[in-house]
Amino acid sequence: MKHLLKLSGLMAAFSAAPVWAQENLRIDGLEIIGEPVDAQMGFQPAVTRVAQDIHDLDYLILVIITLITLFVTALILWVAFRYNKKRNPTAASFTHHTPVEIAWTIVPILILVLIGAYSLPILFRQQEIPQADLTIKATGNQWYWSYEYVDDGFGFDSYMIGAPALGGENRKTPEVIAELEAAGYTEQQFLLATDTSVVIPVGKTIVVQVTGSDVIHAWAMPAFGVKQDAVPGRLAETWFKAEKEGVYFGQCSELCGNAHAYMPITVKVVSEAAYAEWLGKAKAEYAGIAQPLTVASK
């Protein structure tokens, strides 16, 4: 019910004020880096060590599976041509070949050990949460994200610009485009850009505590190599250290209901000075606003 009230309030706000109230918290001049592009073949650019690790692991495994596929295809072709009925009318009748059987057991084990030797350290690096410079709590709701800057005692909700975009029609109306532009985006970023964004300083370790308030959501940011389920009643942690200033887009990545596609995530990675300035304004802007959940201070 609380969410419905919030949603109806938000819709009223949209119709009443096309220019978003967040304008004074805008950070201009940031390059949009983390977004999908037309005809994209690979991943979004990696701006954290973890994301780079994931790309490297993907490349390693791509090489391995390509070699295996070529090898198996060559074997099939060799057998089909060399041992077909015309070229090899009398088929061999043996059923076992011990050296070959040992080889096809040992070689896959070695391949798996090789993959494990690369993937396990990467997995540990993702899962071992370092000391945080900044802790943010992200709560998934149907269908928006709430953020709490737990060190600084404020929080805010983050809705897609143009939400709710349900109904199967193109909801990229002129009003929504105007809102996107007022917030510093283009219509290309419809379905990705949010009214408020998570703002973080560049090169700092950010720990994100992730939970859900109603159903399971997932907080995912491709350019950071981060994807963490938001499970009601549980507090999960993930972390990243973004090395490049810019705007990055992510999506809820756990099917959470009919507006699942309309709860994107926008993160702005900014210089330390710009972050300090934003933090001052954000504290003033959000002071006194009812917090989505109790704020724990460190």
Residues lying near Cu ion in the complex (CB under 5 A) are found at 217, 252, 256, 260
| Least distance to Cu ion, CB of residue 221, Å | 14
Could you identify the residue written with the tokens 């389920």? 229
* Distance of closest approach, residue 138 Cβ to Cu ion, in angstroms: 13
- Cα–Cα distance measured from residue 155 to residue 145, given in angstroms and rounded to the nearest whole number: 11
247 or 256: CB nearest Cu ion? 256
Record the tokens describing residue 288, joined without a space. Answer: 């006194």
Contact present, 236 and 211 (Cβ < 8 Å): yes
In the 3-class helix/strand/coil scheme, how is 151-211 assigned residue by residue?
A: CCCEEEEECECCCCCCCCCCCCCHHHHHHHHHCCCCHHHCCCCECCCEEEECCCCEEEEEE
Instruction: Closer to Cu ion by CB, 64 or 215: give it.
Output: 215
Nearest distance in Å: CB 253, Cu ion:
7
Rounded to whole angstroms, the Cα distance separating 282 from 294 reads 18
Instruction: Report in angstroms how near the CB of residue 118 gets to Cu ion at its nearest.
Output: 31
List, in sequence order, every residue forming a beta bridge with 158; answer none if it has no partner: 145
* 8-state DSSP, 95: -
Question: Smallest distance from the beta carbon of 14 to Cu ion, in angstroms?
Answer: 21
Nearer to Cu ion by Cβ, of 227 and 260: the residue is 260
Give whichever of 244 and 260 is closer to Cu ion, judged by the CB atom.
Answer: 260
Shortest approach of Cu ion to residue 222 CB, angstroms? 15
**Helices and strands, number each (H, E), in the chain:** 5, 11
The distance of closest approach from Cβ of residue 260 to Cu ion in the complex, given in angstroms and rounded to an integer, is: 4
Phi-psi region of 125 (alpha: psi -120 to 50; beta: other; left: phi over 0): alpha
Q: Which of 1, 257, 5 is nearest to 143 (CA)?
A: 257
Which is nearer to Cu ion, 172 or 260 (by Cβ)?
260
DSSP-assigned letters across all residues of 245-289: -EEEEEEE-S--STTGGG--EEEEEE-HHHHHHHHHHHHHHHTTS
Q: Which is nearer to Cu ion, 150 or 256 (CB)?
A: 256
| Closer Cβ to Cu ion, 89 or 233, answer by number | 233
